[in-house]
Amino acid sequence: MSQISLKNINKIYKNQEYSLNALRDLNLDIEKGEMIGIMGKSGSGKSTLLNILGLIDQPTSGEYQIDGKIISDYTPKEIAHLRNKKFGFVLQDFALIERYTVVENVKLPLRYSDVPGVERMPKVYNLLEELGLYEKKDMLPGYLSGGQRQRVAIARALINDAEIILADEPTGALDSSTGKEIMNLFLKMKQKGKTLIIVTHDKEIADYCDRIVTIHDGSI
């Protein structure tokens, strides 16, 4: 059984003037521990697919299963909880809260988890140490380099032991050497058994992946 299974997924954006089929009858299975690259032209539906995978958007029709459970059976509260437990997000613009320190940003998912309060800070500090960010723990994101900020985002994605990491153009705002550093981190995560789904238009980044899925006009 695949960890993630998408069957006949459609996503239609509608307003009074027009209707757009962002995804059309999309089928995709992803195994646990795979590192998948999703490629396609701008507007092909890559980010839409990632949003649906990450439970931050719902498909118009079709079936989405995680570990054999159908997502449409979940309430919004359960979906939020699942997002907290199962998924980690790494976005192009890092999506850090600028007024929170590094520690506060990394600790954020733990606020919505069942991890007891006393265990939170040791977990955060260990992870920051692992990612080489411990000395920066009390700094605001504004004082960090792009690579450091992305590492903070990765730390936040990993803090809850998420099984699935979703990355949307994770190296898009970084120079090539920093980008390589980030991809090496992703490889380390894969070695630890994480499933990684990376949206990219960069072939060099896609080369790190086990499999490349190309989307064209909403279909694979």
Partner 1 sequence: MKIILNQIDLMWKDIKQTKGQFWLGLIQILIASIVLCYTVQIIFQSIDSYGKLQNLNQNNQIYYIDENMESSQIDELINAKDGWKTVKELDNYMNKSFGNACIQMDSSSNLYFYSNNLKQIDISEIPVEEDDTDVYKAKSLKVSSNFFSTFQIAGDYNREEIEKQFKGAKAGETLPIILGNNYKEQFHVGDQFEDDLKQKYKVVGFFKEGESYISPFETSYSTLLDDYMVTPAVIKHGDTSSLLFNVTNRYFVTNDKAKISQIVKKANTLKIRPLIIKDLKPQITACKDDMANEIITMSSIALLIFAFASIGIINYFIRFIAIREKEFAIHMLIGATKEEVIARIRLQLIFMIGIILVGLLLCYGSCKEVYITVGIGVIYGELVLRYPIYIFKQQSIVRILRRNMR
Contacts of 183 (CB under 8 A, 6+ apart): 171, 205, 208
84 sits near partner 1 (criterion: CB under 8 A): yes
Contact region with partner 1 (CB under 8 A), list: 27-35, 61-69, 77-85, 193-201:
77-85
Contact 93, 173 (CB under 8 A): yes
Spatial strand order in the sheet of 164-168: 87-91, 164-168, 195-199, 35-40, 211-215
36-65 mask for partner 1 (x: CB under 8 A)?
---------------x--x-xx--------
Contacts of 212 (CB under 8 A, 6+ apart): 36, 37, 38, 39, 206
Q: Report the candidate in 82, 11, 36, 66 with the shortest Cα–Cα distance to residue 186.
A: 36
Range 122-141, binding partner 1 (CB under 8 A): none
93 sits near partner 1 (criterion: CB under 8 A): yes
158-197 mask for partner 1 (x: CB under 8 A)?
----------------------------------------
91 sits near partner 1 (criterion: CB under 8 A): yes
In this structure, the number of other CB atoms found within 10 A of the CB of residue 206 comes to 19
Enumerate binding residues for partner 1 (CB under 8 A).
51, 54, 56-57, 76-77, 80-81, 83-85, 89, 91-93, 95-97, 99, 108-109, 111-113, 156
